[in-house]
Amino acid sequence: MNQDLNRRTFLRTGALAAATIATSHAVPASAAVSPAVGAKEPPFKLGLASYTFRNFTRAQLIGFMKQLQLADLNAKDAKDHLPMDPTAEAAALADYTAAGIQLHAMGTVSFSKNDEADVRSKFEYAKRAGVRVIVAGDPEIETLPLIEKMVKEYDIRFAIHNHGPEDKIFHSPLDVLKAVGHMDPRMGCCIDVGHCERAGVDPISAIHAVGPRLFDMHVKDLTDFTSRESQVAVGRGKIPFRGLFAALIANGYKGFVDLEYEIYGDNPMPGVIESFAYMRGVLTGMGYAHSSS
């Protein structure tokens, strides 16, 4: 017990130190925690959900990502991050390419209509962006066969995001697995670890249960698993990130772990810096190099 507490204190202290250094113009954020020489890369990478900066423009988002030394983005149609209009989307994609930012997923995207034209428009949106994963927030069960048809046609994976007790269908990843487990293997899940905990499901167990149908992860931290208002910077709460990362590695997960920081919308950067420093510190403590650019 004391050993766990000491390890947690060490990692948190490192994260805070990293956050302090990262705000300096002299030292980049990634320099605060140095992996051992020859450390191997983990199979997954750290990324960012653009919803974290939902109150900021695309230009500001790109600036923040440069400061964080991140190049992997799960973009959402919020502000002007990734508009659904084809012309505006093309402009956004050009900006990301110029900045060296790669889109690996989009979402969450609404699939509330059981309508082929509407569903197809969302897959065309993903095709134009060149992403291989759509993260979906609210599909109805009766819409899933139509979505499966599009998954087969476009060869784009479909990851249903669990939204906790408030979600009328998909409280946890286990509900997603129940709905799509018999469908095409490109029908799967985006595990949100915070909402998973609030639904009373251990996210580590969920990672193992979902297995190869895990296509993306959204991470945050909570101090109280019964309250979504208890969100804090990663490392300050109760979610076991070392165990999460170990489960992902054991399952051979090769996707992205995207920070989705939902608090302090007008000033998220301090908590975002601390969160990435903590996660990078955990990976370093596990013998891995930084998994982000």
Express each pLDDT in 66-112 by its tens digit.
Answer: 999 999 999 999 999 999 999 999 999 999 999 999 999 999 999 99
Question: In this structure, what token pair is assigned to residue 135?
Answer: 């993260």
**Share in percent of the chain as helix, strand, coil (round to 5):** 45, 15, 35
Could you give the 3-state DSSP secondary structure of residue 218?
A: strand
CATH topology of domain 2-285: TIM Barrel (3.20.20)
Mean pLDDT by runs of 10 across the 293 residues of the chain is: 41 43 37 60 96 98 97 97 98 98 97 96 98 95 98 98 94 97 98 97 98 98 97 98 98 97 98 98 91 53
Is the backbone of residue 252 left (phi > 0), alpha (psi -120 to 50) or beta?
A: left
Number of H helices, E strands in the chain: 10, 10
Distance of CA 16 to the CA centre of its chain: 22
pLDDT at 23: 35
Q: Strand 133-136 and strand 102-109: pairing?
A: parallel
State the sign of the Cα–Cα–Cα–Cα dihedral 212, 217, 220, 224.
negative
pLDDT at 39: 77
DSSP H helices, the chain, are 2-22, 58-68, 86-98, 116-129, 144-154, 173-180, 193-198, 203-210, 241-250, 269-285
Amino acid at 7: R
* Tokens 């590695």 belong to residue: 249
Question: Where are the chain's structural domains?
Answer: 2-285
What is the rounded distance in angstroms from the CA atom of residue 158 to the CA atom of residue 91? 25
Q: What is the pTM of this model?
A: 0.88
pLDDT at 6: 39
